[in-house]
Amino acid sequence: MKKGYCDVCGKKTSYTVKKNQITEFKGYEVNVIEEVGVCDLCSSNVYIPELESQNFKRLYGKYRKLAGLISPDELIEFRKRYDISQRELTAILKLGKMTINRYERGAVPSKSNSDYLKLIMNNSEVFKNSLNEAFKKERITQKTYDKVLGKINSSLEDPFKKATISSLTHEADEYNGYRTFDIERLLNLISYIADRVDLHKTSLNKYLWYIDFQSFKINVRSVTGLRYIKHQFGPVIEGKKYEEILNYFDEKFYKEEFEDGDFLKTTVKSKKNYDLSLFKKEELEVIDSVISTFKSKKSNEISELSHKEEGWASSNPGDMISYEYAEKIKIPF
Ligand SMILES: [Zn+2]
């Protein structure tokens, strides 16, 4: 039985979780569920830190989405992608000294700062211009300049890669788990999965789908920002873009083909150079739990499991599967 400290009873008591609906927050119709512990002895509210932090996450997640504002996670991920500190980013963008620091700790940005940051994050040409400007005005060192420029250029180089990335990039909504697609996260994730399991091309989509949906269920956000379509054999990445990802992006993994009877099968091999620091602790927990659940299962077994999921079963072939189905995931990871 779960226990929490009840102020009214003055001791630890067992409690029951009750759900309330929060309809309005800061002028927005949020309609999110709030979970509160209620003392079994005296019916007073009991403060349960885990529930509070989940409530906070849900409420602010929804609020930010509604207000279209940038989230702390998006900022942190952006800095990680370019390997820059809060101070370096502040200098590049010429923002107030503690601005990035405050936003990353959860302060809600103004609409204009949020729009500016979004533009920088979604358009590497604009970011490059800011970088050049910051270097010319000596706000950043040569070392920082070279490092960031190198990363921007390598992400722009290849037209095939660029086209693939842009076809997978959409505004954050219920179909990508409220995350704009992040190629670095996807490549590192695939490399990590391939290192841990015997990864076939056919099961890759299911691993990713379960990881993204389970992460949404637990953490209110997907890991990769991918959108999935209902396909006959299970959920697949929109536009079957996994083919292009396996063909064009070979920094972290490579394909290996082998004959199995009359079929040519493809496995994905890790180059073992993945960077797990891109993921948060609670995301890695989800990733590892999905991997250990599927590790000993064959592709067709994983496929069958995915067919029992409501997100797949209730969608029509070719439909995009909403992350709203995540809470109904049946496998107890
Ligand atoms: Zn009580």
- pLDDT value of residue 174: 92
The C-alpha atoms of residue 147 and residue 113 are separated, in whole angstroms, by 25
How far, in Å, from the CA of 56 to the mean position of ligand 1?
Answer: 24
Distance 76 CA to ligand 1 centre (A): 40
User: How far from 321 is each of 52, 198, 235, 318, CA to CA, in Å?
Assistant: 29, 26, 8, 9
Measured in Å, residue 53 CA sits from the centre of ligand 1 at 21
Distance 41 CA to ligand 1 centre (A): 5
Mean per-residue pLDDT, 237-265 = 89
66 has a pLDDT exceeding 80 = no
Question: What are the φ/ψ torsions at residue 241 (nearest 5 degrees)?
Answer: -70, -5
Q: How far is the CA of 39 from the centre of ligand 1 (A)?
A: 5
Q: How far apart (Å, rounded) are the C-alpha atoms in residues 193 and 247? A: 17
Instruction: State the distance from the centre of ligand 1 to the C-alpha of 34, rounded, in angstroms.
Output: 20
Distance 42 CA to ligand 1 centre (A): 4
Q: What confidence tier does 156 reach under pLDDT thresholds 50, 70, 90? A: low
CA 20 / ligand 1 centre spacing (Å): 19
Q: Is the pLDDT of residue 230 over 90?
A: yes
Output the CA–CA distances (angstroms, integers) from residue 240 to 4, 167, 215, 226, 246, in the order listed: 48, 11, 22, 11, 11
Domain 3-67 bears CATH identifier 3.10.20? yes
**Residue 55 confidence (pLDDT):** 92
- Distance of CA 55 from the midpoint of ligand 1 (Å): 21
Tell me, in angstroms, the distance from the centre of ligand 1 to residue 83's CA.
Answer: 49
Domain boundaries in the chain? 3-67, 72-157, 162-328
User: Once rounded to an integer, what is the mean pLDDT over residues 95-100?
Assistant: 89
Q: How confident is the model at residue 196 (pLDDT cuts 50, 70, 90)?
A: very high
Residues contacting 231, CB < 8 A, separation 6+? 205, 317
- Cα 19 to ligand 1 centroid, rounded to whole Å: 18
Q: How far is the CA of 11 from the centre of ligand 1 (A)?
A: 8
- CA dist 163 and 296 (Å) reads 35
